[in-house]
Amino acid sequence: MTIVDLLERNAREYANETALVEINPEQKATKRVTWHEYELVQPSASPYSRREITWSVFNERANRFANALISRGITKGHKVAILMMNCMEWLPIYFGVLKTGAMAVPLNFRYSSDEILYTFNLAQADILLFGPEFIGRVEDIADQIDERHLLLYFGDGCPSFAEGYPSFVADSSSQNPGIPLSEDDYAAIYFSSGTTGFPKAILHKHRALIYSATVEQKHHGQTHDDVFLCIPPLYHTGAKMHWFGSLYSGSKAVLLKGIKPEYILDAVSKEHCTIVWLLVPWAQDILNALDSGRLKLSDYHLDQWRLMHIGAQPVPQSLIHHWLEYFPNHQYDTNYGLSESIGPGAVHLGVENVHKVGAIGVPGYGWQVKIVDEDGNEVHGQEVGELCVKGDGVMVCYYRDPEATAKTLKDGWLYTGDMAMRDEDGFIFLVDRKKDVIITGGENLYPVQIEDFIRGFNKVSDVAVIGLPDERLGEIAAAIIEIKEGMTCTEDEINEFCKGMPRYKRPRRIIFDKVPRNPTGKIEKPLLRKRYGADRLVDAQNKS
């Protein structure tokens, strides 16, 4: 079975049931919305833009795009790059690519023109499909893309250098193209976050995609009655693979375009969402809004909301304890994974283990995990080492990069670059990224541990800890601290609070600034290092 088979099954068994809802709270409702001869449901009672499609329409849209691609010679071995913001059309387009046997290549919507060109060329893509938000960036590189490759535009006002989607699919059939697929066929190329330079291309087979859907459903128990609220970008494995739980169960999902706390609670209330995946900043924003009284739970219908889970970055214990004060009946889970391990689920806490909040958890369904030292030997007890995972979700390779592949894949094990330890009960705790460890006066400092502690201060909204060069100690820990809105805080207050940590762990420099995070919620530490001059230190360490 492949991930495409799940879509075909849903189109048969749940043909007229809602598959996807798109909500844009910042766009007013229109009376009628059509999508290439299909009318999409737009309830008149909704004050904002809301569209929905059934499983049948979803599948037909995917088939139509697949047949159009095949008519242009796209088949197994080819690649189609997708550069679009989250929208109703994103997933049908993705599945249309898969139905041809070609590989889907999702691109980060934050990519600059140079990064778009770099990733397009690295993946050896044949088509770049892009949305209206990217006209300027694509135009900048259009003359550098070989004329044998197609620039395909989805949106109103097609630019002169591209072909429009409506004409591209105009005469194509909505029937299944019938291309035979197996778990061993290549399915997708995703890209790493690119925190150490340009991103690496990550190649996955269909086996990994269907495996991720199985793992997601096993972990969170999605049934046909669940409704999943999806907010993060679909180009990323995290959002898409969590949505695969909805695909697996044939249940409704809601794509929310907006991250304000009131948007999230309103969507959960009006769409009767039962499962919500949040990033740490969004969860913190909701808590801040509730703490300040700006939002009140009594204004929303939230009784059906059963599960809140977080992934993509370490989760402060204090945040979850605070969350459960407002939502005592919520199940909670945290999920750990990488794009190299097809997103979330390689390690997860488990809804039954809320007493272990702070850990990333135990090996996920069907996954193996080990922690090793510098020589690749497993560590014992509560020693810190590099986290390694093994399972059907591990990537095939870094595409066209055998050297990086050899460093990361060893005997089927994926070396994650994350430092971790096990407690006495076997639960795994993420200590930090291997490259983020700060060595000060011969002592190893793990920024995540320091960040978790500082987040416990009631005036702190967010914090990032990086190493800064120091003539005497080599490097020192610096804490970039973002204060909660409407509050003031002094360096002395932070230093006094940090006395609760061992002296060697206390940050030696306090900087009040905004903490930058990428679209998947990870702290952009390379940006902070560059901003505060620590990039020179990292470069020197990399060369040594």
pLDDT computed for residue 194 by the predictor? 52
Q: pLDDT confidence of 26, banded at 50, 70, 90?
A: confident
Tell me if 99 sits within 8 A of 66, measured CB to CB: yes
Tell me if 385 sits within 8 A of 379, measured CB to CB: yes
Tell me if 307 sits within 8 A of 333, measured CB to CB: yes
pTM of the entire structure? 0.84
Q: End-to-end CA distance of the chain, in Å?
A: 47
Residue 476 Rama label (left phi>0; alpha psi -120 to 50; beta): beta
For residue 335, give the nearest of 249, 255, 239 by alpha carbon: 239
Residue burial 513-522, b: 16+ Cβ < 10 Å; e: rest:
eebbbbbbbb
For residue 79, give the nearest of 138, 137, 122, 113 by alpha carbon: 122
pLDDT tens track for 514-524: 999 877 677 88
- What are phi and psi for residue 322, nearest 5 degrees? -65, -40
* CA separation for the pair 544, 534 (Å, rounded): 16
Give the burial class of 342: count Cβ atoms within 10 A of its Cβ; 0-12 exposed, 13-18 middle, 19 or more buried.
buried
* CA separation for the pair 69, 82 (Å, rounded): 13
pLDDT tens track for 348-382: 999 999 999 889 999 999 999 999 999 999 998 88
pLDDT computed for residue 37 by the predictor? 53
Q: Per-residue pLDDT averaged across 123-149, rounded?
A: 96
Domain layout of the chain by residue ranges: 3-8+54-206, 437-543
pLDDT computed for residue 171 by the predictor? 92
Which amino acid makes up residue 381? G
Q: Per-residue pLDDT averaged across 129-155, rounded?
A: 95
Q: pLDDT confidence of 266, banded at 50, 70, 90?
A: very high
Tell me if 273 sits within 8 A of 267, measured CB to CB: yes
**What is the three-class DSSP state of 13?**
helix
Beta strands in 131-177 (DSSP E): 150-153, 163-164
Share of the chain above pLDDT 70, in %: 92
pLDDT computed for residue 196 by the predictor? 47
* The domains spanning 3-8+54-206 and 437-543 adopt the same CATH topology: no
Tell me if 100 sits within 8 A of 65, measured CB to CB: no
Number of Cβ within 10 Å of residue 267's Cβ equals 24
pLDDT computed for residue 46 by the predictor? 62
Name the average pLDDT for the chain: 90
Q: Per-residue pLDDT averaged across 145-150, rounded?
A: 91
pLDDT tens track for 447-471: 888 888 898 899 999 999 998 887 6
pLDDT computed for residue 314 by the predictor? 65
Give the burial class of 377: count Cβ atoms within 10 A of its Cβ; 0-12 exposed, 13-18 middle, 19 or more buried.
exposed
Q: Per-residue pLDDT averaged across 69-89, rounded?
A: 97
Which superfamily does CATH assign the domain made up of 437-543 to? ANL, C-terminal domain (3.30.300.30)
Q: Per-residue pLDDT averaged across 98-109, rounded?
A: 96
Looking at the predicted structure, is the pLDDT value of residue 396 above 60? yes
pLDDT computed for residue 542 by the predictor? 44
pLDDT computed for residue 475 by the predictor? 81
pLDDT computed for residue 535 by the predictor? 57
In order, the DSSP letters of 126-146 are SEEEE-GGGHHHHHHHGGGS-
Tell me if 55 sits within 8 A of 10, measured CB to CB: yes
Assign domain 3-8+54-206 one CATH number from 3.30.1490.190, 3.40.1110.10, 3.40.30.10, 3.40.50.12780: 3.40.50.12780
Tell me if 241 sits within 8 A of 343, measured CB to CB: yes
Q: pLDDT confidence of 189, banded at 50, 70, 90?
A: very high
- What are phi and psi for residue 68, nearest 5 degrees? -65, -45
pLDDT tens track for 160-174: 999 999 999 999 999
Looking at the predicted structure, is the pLDDT value of residue 539 above 50? no
Tell me if 190 sits within 8 A of 323, measured CB to CB: no
Q: Which residue has the higher pLDDT, 416 or 40?
A: 416
HEC per residue, 398-413: ECCCHHHHHHHEECCE
pLDDT computed for residue 538 by the predictor? 45
Looking at the predicted structure, is the pLDDT value of residue 47 above 80? no
Q: pLDDT confidence of 473, banded at 50, 70, 90?
A: confident
